[in-house]
A and B are shown apart, each in its own frame.
Chain A
Amino acid sequence: MNFQAGKDTLKRKFDTVGTRTPRPDGLDKVTGRAQFGADLTAPGMLWGMILRSPHAHARIKSIDTSKAEAVNGVHAVVTSRDFGPCPDDVLDIRENVMARGKVLYDGHAVAAVAATSRSAARQALKLIKVDYKVLPHVTDVDEAMKPSAPILNRKLFTKGLDKTPRKPSNIAERFEFGHGDVEAGMKQADLVIERTFKTEATHQGYIEPNACLANMGSDGRADLWCCTQGHFMVRQVCSALLGMDASALRVTASEIGGGFGGKTTVFVEPVALALSLKASRPVKIVMSRSEVLRASGPTSSTSIDVRIGMKKDGTITAGDATLRYQGGAFPGSAVPYGAMAAFACYDLKAVRAVGYDVIANRPKQAAYRAPGAPMAAYAVESVVDELCKELNLDPLDVRLKNASSDGSKASYGPNFDVIGLRATLEAAKAHPHYKARLKPNQGRGVACGFWFNFGGETSVSLNVSADGTIGLSVGTPDIGGSRASIGNMAAEELGVPHDKVRCIIADTASLGYNDVTDGSRVTFASGLAAINAARDAIGKMCERAAGIWGIPVDAVTWEDGAARPSSPNAGNHEPLTLADIAAQAGATGGPISGHCEINAEGAGVSFATHLVDTEVDPDTGYVKILRYTVFQDAGKAIHPSYVEGQFQGGAVQGIGWALNEEYIYGEDGKLQNPGFLDYRIPVASDLPMIDAVIVEVPNPGHPYGVRGVGETSIVPPLAAISNSVSSAAGVRMTQLPMSPPRLLKALGRI
Chain B
Amino acid sequence: MFQIHVSTSINGDDTEFSCEADETLLDVLRDRLGLTGSKEGCGTGDCGACSVIVDGRLVCSCLMLGAEAQGREIETIEGMANGSELHPLQQKFLDHAALQCGVCTPGFLVAAKSLLERNDNPTEEEVRYWLAGNLCRCTGYDKIVRAVLDTAKEMRKSPKTKKTAAKKRVKA
A-to-B contact residues, CB < 8 Å: 20, 22-23, 25-27, 29-36, 38-39, 41, 117-119, 204-209, 255-260, 286, 288-289, 479-481, 641-642, 644-645, 648-653, 675-677, 681-685, 687, 689-690, 692
Would you call B38 and A642 a contact (CB within 8 A)? no
Would you call B46 and A677 a contact (CB within 8 A)? yes
Q: Which residue from A204, A206, A648, A653 sits with its C-beta under 8 Å from B142?
A: A648
Would you call A687 and B135 a contact (CB within 8 A)? no
Would you call A690 and B140 a contact (CB within 8 A)? yes
Cα A430 to Cα B81 in complex, Å, equals 45
Give me 13 other A-B pairs in contact (C-beta within 8 A), A33-B37, A206-B103, A207-B104 excluded. Answer: A31-B78, A32-B35, A32-B38, A35-B36, A117-B20, A207-B135, A648-B140, A652-B140, A652-B141, A684-B128, A685-B132, A687-B140, A687-B141
Q: A29-B102, A289-B44, A683-B135 are in contact. Are A651 and B140 (CB under 8 A)?
A: yes
Instruction: Point out the residues of chain A lying under 8 angstroms from B161, CB to CB.
Output: none
Secondary structure class of chain B's binding surface, majority of residues: loop
Q: Which residue from B31, B97, B136, B145 sits with its C-beta under 8 Å from A641?
A: B97
Would you call B20 and A119 a contact (CB within 8 A)? yes
Would you call A23 and B86 a contact (CB within 8 A)? no
Instruction: Point out the residues of chain B lying under 8 angstroms from A118, CB to CB.
Output: 27
Kindly provide the distance from the CB of A404 to the nearest chain B CB, expressed in whole angstroms. Answer: 27
Q: A32-B78, A205-B137, A684-B127 are in contact. Are A649 and B39 (CB under 8 A)?
A: no
Kindly provide the distance from the CB of A613 to the nearest chain B CB, expressed in whole angstroms. Answer: 16
Kindly provide the distance from the CB of A173 to the nearest chain B CB, expressed in whole angstroms. Answer: 31
Cα A34 to Cα B139 in complex, Å, equals 18
Kindly provide the distance from the CB of A164 to the nearest chain B CB, expressed in whole angstroms. Answer: 42
Instruction: Point out the residues of chain A lying under 8 angstroms from B101, CB to CB.
Output: 206-208, 255-259, 479-480
Interface residues on B, range: 35 or more
Q: A119-B20, A207-B136 are in contact. Are A675 and B99 (CB under 8 A)?
A: no
Instruction: Point out the residues of chain A lying under 8 angstroms from B30, CB to CB.
Output: 38-39
Would you call B100 and A642 a contact (CB within 8 A)? yes
Would you call A681 and B137 a contact (CB within 8 A)? yes
Kindly provide the distance from the CB of B4 to the nearest chain A CB, expressed in whole angstroms. Answer: 14
Would you call A207 and B137 a contact (CB within 8 A)? yes
Q: A119-B20, A289-B42, A675-B42 are in contact. Are A29 and B105 (CB under 8 A)?
A: yes
Cα A684 to Cα B30 in complex, Å, equals 27
Kindly provide the distance from the CB of A493 to the nearest chain B CB, expressed in whole angstroms. Answer: 23
Instruction: Point out the residues of chain B lying under 8 angstroms from A289, CB to CB.
Output: 41-44, 46-47
Kindly provide the distance from the CB of B132 to the nearest chain A CB, expressed in whole angstroms. Answer: 4
Cα A692 to Cα B38 in complex, Å, equals 31
Would you call A648 and B102 a contact (CB within 8 A)? no
Cα A32 to Cα B81 in complex, Å, equals 10
Kindly provide the distance from the CB of A361 to the nearest chain B CB, expressed in whole angstroms. Answer: 25
The residue of chain B having its C-beta at the shortest distance from the C-beta of A643 within the complex is B97
Q: A119-B22, A480-B100, A481-B100 are in contact. Are A676 and B135 (CB under 8 A)?
A: yes
B-to-A contact residues, CB < 8 Å: 20, 22, 27, 30-31, 34-44, 46-47, 49, 76-78, 80-81, 86, 90, 93-97, 99-106, 109, 124-125, 127-129, 131-146
Cα A206 to Cα B104 in complex, Å, equals 10
Kindly provide the distance from the CB of A657 to the nearest chain B CB, expressed in whole angstroms. Answer: 12
Would you call B41 and A208 a contact (CB within 8 A)? yes
Would you call B105 and A30 a contact (CB within 8 A)? yes
Would you call B140 and A642 a contact (CB within 8 A)? no
Cα A685 to Cα B30 in complex, Å, equals 29
Cα A245 to Cα B113 in complex, Å, equals 49
Cα A418 to Cα B27 in complex, Å, equals 53
Pairs A-B, 8 closest by C-beta atoms: A32-B37, A257-B103, A652-B140, A29-B102, A641-B97, A676-B46, A648-B140, A32-B77
Q: A119-B22, A675-B42, A689-B145 are in contact. Are A32 and B76 (CB under 8 A)?
A: yes
Would you call A645 and B137 a contact (CB within 8 A)? no
- Which of B86, B96, B134, B141 has the most A CB atoms < 10 Å from its CB? B141
Q: A23-B97, A31-B78 are in contact. Are A648 and B39 (CB under 8 A)?
A: no
Q: A119-B20, A288-B43, A689-B145 are in contact. Are A31 and B77 (CB under 8 A)?
A: yes
Q: Which residue from B39, B96, B103, B142 sits with its C-beta under 8 Å from A690?
A: B142
Cα A25 to Cα B94 in complex, Å, equals 10
Would you call B137 and A653 a contact (CB within 8 A)? yes
Q: Which residue from B27, B36, B44, B132 sits with its C-beta under 8 Å from A39?
A: B36
Would you call A207 and B78 a contact (CB within 8 A)? no
Would you call A207 and B127 a contact (CB within 8 A)? no
Ordered by A's residue number, 22 sampled pairs between the chains whose C-beta atoms are within 8 Å are: A30-B90, A32-B37, A36-B39, A41-B34, A119-B20, A207-B103, A209-B40, A209-B41, A288-B43, A289-B43, A289-B44, A645-B97, A645-B139, A645-B143, A676-B41, A676-B135, A681-B135, A684-B127, A684-B136, A685-B125, A687-B128, A687-B142
The residue of chain B having its C-beta at the shortest distance from the C-beta of A32 within the complex is B37
Cα A122 to Cα B54 in complex, Å, equals 29
Cα A338 to Cα B143 in complex, Å, equals 31
Q: Which residue from A30, A119, A258, A682 sits with its C-beta under 8 Å from B103?
A: A258
Instruction: Point out the residues of chain A lying under 8 angstroms from B133, CB to CB.
Output: 683
Instruction: Point out the residues of chain A lying under 8 angstroms from B46, CB to CB.
Output: 289, 675-677
Would you call A649 and B20 a contact (CB within 8 A)? no
Kindly provide the distance from the CB of A610 to the nearest chain B CB, expressed in whole angstroms. Answer: 13
Cα A207 to Cα B102 in complex, Å, equals 10
Would you call A34 and B142 a contact (CB within 8 A)? no
